[in-house]
Structure 1
């Protein structure tokens, strides 16, 4: 197998996404110009060019990471992995000894059942090659490497179905970190999951949106960023900016295009209302909204969800109430769910309610029948994004 070189004009990639958002993420990637888009489990396969790959980092709201494939090769054991990695790329260009790197691994292959061991094999293959060629080796940097490599083992592609895919991680830190959320409540919803949940509601910024249990405000902030065209990746650095084929002019073009999508913060939007009973958490929500540049678009109020009065509808209600994970909490939360159900039925006729449920028994206290139940994983908790039409 000869050395392969990543082709900037034809990038094969994987977007790593929250479980349950694969189809929504596929739609987002398609809208951003990707082709050959295919949802997988917790991921979406796509093809793009370098400009499109840059665009995804700046504009895509749902992925955790965006991986760019370096090489794919049959892997029936650790020797295949070792040899395949050494031949996967022109390492003199991509990983000279003066640069730092890290390796993450997922999946399994014969004799490679532990991700830490598989990552170690990739590291050994690379530093052994460097010592042979240059008498020096790169250092491993787990926090901020020049090159972040990702190995995935498994899938079809060889006679026994074992394939290794070696990719570059263009993201650096996880893309869910937008930079606005220094302040969080007790059970924060990751920003990309919140953006995905809003996408699943179909809300497009043309009707009122409200969260009667808004916590630190992530659902509403992500909704406002969407409505105002605020690209999520403009305020942060990316690992791809340190790659040897990084194109500063193309990157700047994509940055300018992403920035041009933004509407003025004071642009007229329908009401986006959040209610939070805890004054300290409400202050966090206001801080986060200001840091995200959308404070002017949000009406964040202190109050009890039982007293919520919706703006003139129809509109969409969203909420992520507590699930009662700790012993004794469920009994205390049942009245909250019952009162929430009573409030929306009495005051929100003509609206839709979308509620993230991690506890079917608590959701039963709403005394409402969901018209859709979308499986979602929130921090490892098996949840459902439930849709109710309020008559």
Structure 2
């Protein structure tokens, strides 16, 4: 292999102790809870960034994060980090970033995504193209043939990030370990009109502190994502495991040249061992109740819950939110009402929010409400004052995860 250029990390980003740098890409607003989750799963040197969390891990921890972490979209394993003050620096740095004879044989399909900027590299498409050119030129020089670029089903997915480091502009070349966004758990073939991504739902639940000991209810549950993610958390259903009746998920890292099958099986067994039929403290899970007026959407919620393996713990009811009756013991309410993105909805939604506020104050005294708001004017129709406002982004919409104490 060619000697690394000055400033380049060791091939594969691995240090003598077996650890390497990685980045977890997370929804905006979830950086802090994601950092806490990754630390709890064994990551070290964890640092929240913007829409990401930097960390270090070894292979066992990397496998564990892919199987058990609920909040990331993807986890990127750093291959190399090097100075990048020009297109030539990028080209040369990529060619020297790893042992490409090991990582990228000609029969291996790949794709490249890029973000950020560096001198002479201001457009992500052309930055990605420069990485591709460096890789296939190296292959031609050594084998006389090259890999195919495959945007849909690549064997390797590279990610280039250009930014200003401590010593000036630098490039970070990484590999994505999942082979598809980690927010897709596989249970949600059926979705409503405005689906909440699973990892965002899991992050929102983490802010509530709900642990299965008190009732959880969603009077506007839609296709059930908030309640399903909460139940999966309380019942130890690891998000990287397939639910009942579904084939095992295949991760891209299983095709990496340094993949360790025995270590992977150990982490799979540990993830499976987390599953339980009771709450984290050993007590029966408190009631989890959802309500949905649209029969077809309600059926989607029930289908999704069954596919996730938690259908037996969710009481999903048909009916209007105005008629919602909460469980007897006070607990936590979660809700993601519509934001009024479509023309002509405003008046109807103002009445919905007003009626929701009335119902909550009449029947849910002593409960805690967490509501995802993408429209502060509509939220005002609740006639309630939030005690906490957490900024998050839902599908590109600037939202607030609002906390209310209902009296």
Give the TM-score, by structure 1 length: 0.98
Displacement of 1:265 in angstroms is: 7.7
Conserved in 2, the CA contact under 8 Å of 1:78 and 1:112?
yes
C-alpha separation between the residues in 1 aligned to 2:264 and 2:59?
Answer: 9
Note the alpha carbon deviations across 1:211-231, whole angstroms, 9 max, x for none. 000000000000000010000
Q: Equivalent of 1:58, from 62, 67, 70? A: 67
Asked if structure 1 preserves the Cα contact closer than 8 Å seen for 2:278 and 2:285, the reply is: no
Q: What does residue 135 of structure 1 align with?
A: 144
Distance of 1:2 and 1:299 partners within structure 2: 61
1:336 and 2:345 equivalent?
A: no
Aligned match of 2:3? 2
* Cα distance in 1 for residues equivalent to 2:199 and 2:363: 30
Query: What is the DSSP-based 3-state SS (H/G/I as helix, E as strand, rest coil) of the residue aligned with 1:154?
Result: strand
Alignment partner of 2:277 out of 264, 274, 285: 264
Which consecutive unaligned segments of at least 5 residues does structure 1 have?
none
Residue pairs, 1:131-210, within 5 angstroms: 131-158=140-167, 161-210=168-217
Shift of 1:54: 0.3
Count of matched residue positions in the alignment of Structure 1 and Structure 2: 389
Determine whether 1:116 maps to 2:129.
no
1:11 pairs with 2:20 = yes
Whether the aligned pair in 2 keeps the contact of 1:265 and 1:294 (CA below 8 Å) is no
Q: CA RMSD in A?
A: 1.2
8 Å CA contact retained: 2:162, 2:170: yes
Check whether the contact 1:178–1:191 (CA below 8 A) recurs between aligned residues.
yes
Instruction: Please say if 1:252 is aligned against 2:259.
Output: no
Rounded Cα–Cα distance in structure 1 between residues aligned with 2:83 and 2:361: 58
| 1:74 equivalent in structure 2 | 83
**Unaligned ranges ≥5, structure 2:** 5-9, 243-248
Shift of 1:330: 1.4
Query: How many Å separate the matches in 2 of 1:37 and 1:114?
Result: 29
- TM-aligned CA deviation for residue 11 of structure 1: 1.9
Work out the CA distance in 2 between the residues paired with 1:227 and 1:192.
15
Residue of structure 2 in register with 1:47 after alignment: 56
Q: Secondary structure at the match of 2:122?
A: coil
Whole-Å Cα distance in 2 between the matches of residues 21 and 200 of structure 1? Answer: 9
Measure the CA separation in 2 of the matches of 1:234 and 1:43: 23
